[in-house]
Amino acid sequence: MPNTRCSTPNASLFRISRMRIAIGGFFHESNSFCQAPTTLADYERARLYAGAEMLPPLRGTDTEIGGFLRAADHLGFEAVPTSYAWAWPAGLLTGDCFRTLLDRLKAAVEACLPVDGILLSIHGALATEADDDPDGTILAEVRSCLPPGVPLVVTCDFHANLSPLMVSSCDALIGYRTYPHVDLADCGEEAAGLLVRMLQDEIRPTMALAKPPLMPHIVRQRTADGPMAELMAMARAAEQEPGVLRVTVAGGFAYADVPRVGIGALAITDGDPDRAADVAHTLADTAWERRRAFTAAPPGPQEAVRRALTHPAGHGPVVLSDIGDNVGGGSPGDGTVLLRELLRQGPRGALVLLTDPEAVAAALQAGVRARLSLRVGGKTDCLHGDPVEVTGRVRLLADGIFRNRGPMRDGLVDDQGRTAVLDVDGFTLVLCERKMPQWNLQQFRSLGIDPADQRVIVCKGAVAHRAAYEPIAAEIIDVDTPGACAGDMRQFHYERLRRPLYPLDEW
- Residues counted in the chain: 507
Please report how close the Cβ of residue 475 comes to Zn ion at its closest, in angstroms. 24
Query: Measured between alpha carbons, how far is 377 from 356 in angstroms, rounded to an integer?
Result: 6
**By C-beta, is 61 or 336 nearer to Zn ion?**
61
Q: Please give the single-letter amino acid code of residue 445.
A: R
Measured in degrees and rounded to the nearest 5, phi and psi for residue 286 equal -65, -45
| Residue 446 to residue 415: CA distance in whole angstroms | 12
Q: At its nearest, how many Å lie between Zn ion and the CB of residue 266?
A: 16
Q: How far is the CB of 155 from Zn ion (least distance, A)?
A: 12
Of residues 256 and 421, the one with the C-beta less far from Zn ion: 256
Distances (CA, A) of 336 to 86, 173, 218, 248, 460: 28, 39, 21, 37, 11
CA atoms of 69 and 63, how far apart (whole Å):
10
CB of 29 to Zn ion, least distance (A): 6
Q: Which CB atom, from 309 or from 463, has the smaller least distance to Zn ion?
A: 463
Q: Minimum distance between the CB of residue 61 and Zn ion, rounded to whole angstroms?
A: 17
**Rounded to 5, what percent of the chain is helix, strand, coil?**
35, 25, 45
**Separation of first and last alpha carbons in the chain:** 49
Taking the complex as a whole, how short is the minimal distance between the CB of residue 89 and Zn ion, in angstroms? 8
Q: In 76-183, which ranges are continuous DSSP H helix?
A: 95-111, 134-145, 164-168
| Residue closer to Zn ion (CB basis): 327 or 422 | 327
Decide whether 159 or 340 has the Cβ nearer to Zn ion: 159
Q: Which spans in 117-183 are helix H?
A: 134-145, 164-168
Cβ-based nearer residue to Zn ion, 159 or 460: 159
Residue type at 75? Answer: L
Bridge partner residues of 264 (DSSP): 250
Interface ranges with Zn ion (CB under 5 A): 157-159
Residue 262 beta carbon to Zn ion: minimum distance, rounded to whole angstroms? 15
Q: Are 207 and 87 in contact (CB under 8 A)?
A: no
**How near is the Cβ of 247 to Zn ion at its closest, in Å?**
18
Give ∠ CA 479-481-483 in degrees, rounded to 5. Answer: 140
159 or 246, CB closer to Zn ion?
159
The answer to whether 415 touches 400, Cβ cutoff 8 Å, is: yes
- C-alpha angle with apex 158: 193 to 497, nearest 5 degrees? 130
Furthest-apart CA atoms within the chain: distance in Å: 79
> Cis omega before residue 357 (within 30°)?
no
Residue placing its CB nearer to Zn ion in the complex, 301 or 330: 330
Q: How far is the CB of 157 from Zn ion (least distance, A)?
A: 4
Please state, in angstroms and rounded to a whole number, the distance separating the CA atoms of residues 270 and 262. 26
Per DSSP, 128 falls in state B
Which residue of this chain has its Cβ atom nearest to Zn ion in the complex?
159
What are the phi and psi torsion angles at 71 (to 5°)?
Answer: -65, -40
Q: Cβ 64 to Zn ion, closest distance in Å? A: 12
- Considering the complex, what minimum distance in angstroms separates the CB of residue 293 from Zn ion? 20
How far apart, in whole angstroms, are the C-alpha atoms of residue 41 and residue 466?
30
For residue 322, the number of C-alpha atoms closer than 13 Å in the C-beta half-sphere is: 33
When the beta carbons of 184 and 447 are compared against Zn ion, the nearer one is 184
DSSP H/E element including 57: helix 55-58
| Shortest Å, Cβ 327 to Zn ion | 12
Q: Of 125 and 267, which CB lies nearer to Zn ion in the complex structure?
A: 125
- In the complex with Zn ion, the residue whose CB is nearer, 67 or 347, is 67
Q: What is the rounded distance in angstroms from the CA atom of residue 220 to the CA atom of residue 239?
A: 23
Q: Closer CB to Zn ion, residue 82 or residue 438?
A: 438
Shortest CA distance to 26 belongs to which of 165, 140, 179? 140
